[in-house]
Chains A and B, each alone.
Chain A
Amino acid sequence: MADRINVLKTYKTYVGGKFPRTESGRHYKVYGKDEEVIANACQCSRKDFRDAVVAARGAQNGWNSRSAYNRGQILYRIAEMLEGRKTQFVEELKPLGIHHRTAQKEVETTIDTLIYYAGWADKYQQVFGSINPVASNHFNFSIPEPTGVVSAFAPEESPLLGLVSVITPIIVGGNSCIILASQRYPLPAISFAEVLHSSDVPGGVVNILTGFKEELVDHMTSHMDVNAFFFTDPKVNKEYRKQIDENAALNVKRIVHHPVNDWSQHQEDPYLVTKFQEIKTTWHPVGF
């Protein structure tokens, strides 16, 4: 007989800086590599998504009005916290059938990705903004500004690295986001939420839900208060893509499809930051 009964973690969602269960009360089973049940995850409903949008909208303005430098600091802080909990994440990736060394590599690449984008926080405006020559007496300049609230699917593969590679380019530019975690293996996403929670990220900037893409895709792409939708599925059915585009057309949502096959080979990419930016051009009169 075992000395004690192991205490298993309840995996909840992360919305508005809190860890609520789904309002629907539903859950689904998460299986390990040998088809054994390793945990239960929340099967979020459209109402959970709706609540997350409210949280994301509420947080977006405050997040954007922080200085770019401060956003960089906070991203760096996430990386620091993740570094401290490296072992936990390596252990959490193993039941998925990921080899120890590969798991360690995935966690380390994740940390490096955060550091990489943290550096871009106060640089992308300079690099991608411009001063434009015009024929009149105007000082004319274009600067990127955040699109707003972004909903996104985290990739099915690489449950941690993929997730972070999707979240970071969105939030570094002052957007807030609602992410649906990997459906098959959502556990590291919720553990990552704990890291976010303890690293100065204001509540509501990142919201993480778990559940079924099939069920939520229509709501995530049609919601009128969401400004962009980001997904990275390598293969997309034509009908499915059409449905997403039609939903998005309701409020001219930006659809960003960035197919990635293998996240461990994926290059860090500042252009991904600009996908969630709108260029604003200002004409400022100058004297003679």
Chain B
Amino acid sequence: MSATTSTYDWNKTIPIDQVGVEQRVDRLNSRSIKKDSKIQALKLALSMIDLTTLEGMDTEGKVIQLCQKALRPHIEQPDLPKVAAICVYPNMVSVAKKELQGSGINVASVATAFPSGMATRKIKIEETRQVVADGADEVDMVISRGAFLKGEYEYVFDEISAVKEACGSAHLKVILETGELQTYENVRKASDIAMHAGADFIKTSTGKISPAATQPVTLVMLEAIRDYFYKTDRMVGMKPAGGIRKAKQAIQYLVLVKETLGAAWLTPDYFRFGASSLTNDLLMQIIKQQSGVYQGPDYFSKD
């Protein structure tokens, strides 16, 4: 699917009704999910997590600890679903890969000079090849927001295509960093560019910029995925990341996906949460649903 040149006029802007988007999100957020459906939603959300650690102070020990958490989210309930992937910096890929060997949990690595994306294309391609060679199953790249905002859409398109090619068989997630894109129209345009250039997933944010993932932005991106699917019959995944800490938010996101794209997208293959502290809140809610007793963080492993 990865084209080398786009045949699309990126200067055309698809108008977004800001008030409409925000009201639709509010409307869907008021939906109440209880009892069995809630437990099912919580477990589904848990299986969709990309357990993430992207700090300058990350060490091998921290990554190993996170991998253990991914394998056994809560030791007292071994039958809970595992998370979808671990997301780390490039130099930690081999550590995570070794730790997760044979577990079915993917290793995702950020690449292309994450989080700023301010590097030459050559370096970005090299970095992508390196993480794939080290064993990354998924690559999270950032787009060049500067170029995008200057209107150099072809440049952004070509860059994504080139990284996609460098990924080989690894899945490519394209981070739009919506907090820097200013308008919903830009979010929509960046989504379209990323999908046409071959992205397997589009992702909201790096988590380093505020605002990170918001529901209105996610809805705009989901609608772009839907329209792209109608046009090309290819399913692209969605990953909101950053700022999602509560189980309640996670369920609200699942409702958005279900209502915009349908149940086919409600699997870890097509929807992910980029988060770390969300895991424990989901676990606490699951145990609360089972036991009827409100839980405290003291009784869950740190992540």
Contacts and interface: CB of A to CB of B under 8 A. Distances in A.
A222 to B, nearest CB: 5
A222 B291 CA distance: 11
Contacts of A46: 294
Interface in B283-297: 293-297
Contacts of A226: 296
Contacts of B297: 225
Contacts of A219: 294
Contacts of A94: none
Interface in A214-256: 219, 222-226, 250-251
A53 B293 contact: no
Contact of B299 (A50, A57, A222, A251): A251
Contacts of B299: 224, 251
Contacts of B293: 222-224, 250
Categorize the interface residue count of chain B.
under 10
User: Main SS of the interface on chain B?
Assistant: loop
B298 interface: yes
Contacts of B295: 224-225
Contacts, number: 26
Interface in A140-171: none
Categorize the interface residue count of chain A.
10 to 19
A218 to B, nearest CB: 9
B77 to A, nearest CB: 15
A226 B295 CA distance: 9
A222 B293 CA distance: 6
B210 to A, nearest CB: 19
B167 to A, nearest CB: 41
Contact of B298 (A50, A53, A222, A225): A225
Contacts of A222: 293-294
B35 to A, nearest CB: 15
Interface in B272-286: none
Interface string B126-160: 00000000000000000000000000000000000
A130 B128 CA distance: 61
Nearest to B300: A224
A46 B296 CA distance: 15
B294 A50 contact: yes
Nearest to B294: A223
B166 to A, nearest CB: 45
A150 to B, nearest CB: 14
List the 7 closest A-B pairs by CB distance, nearest first: A225-B296, A224-B296, A223-B294, A222-B293, A224-B295, A50-B294, A224-B299
Given A225-B298, A251-B299, 10 more contacts: A50-B294, A53-B294, A57-B296, A223-B293, A223-B296, A224-B293, A225-B295, A225-B296, A225-B297, A226-B296
Interface of B: 293-299
Interface of A: 46, 50, 53, 57, 219, 222-226, 250-251
19 contacts: A50-B294, A53-B294, A57-B296, A222-B293, A223-B294, A223-B296, A224-B293, A224-B294, A224-B295, A224-B296, A224-B298, A224-B299, A225-B295, A225-B297, A225-B298, A226-B296, A250-B293, A251-B296, A251-B298
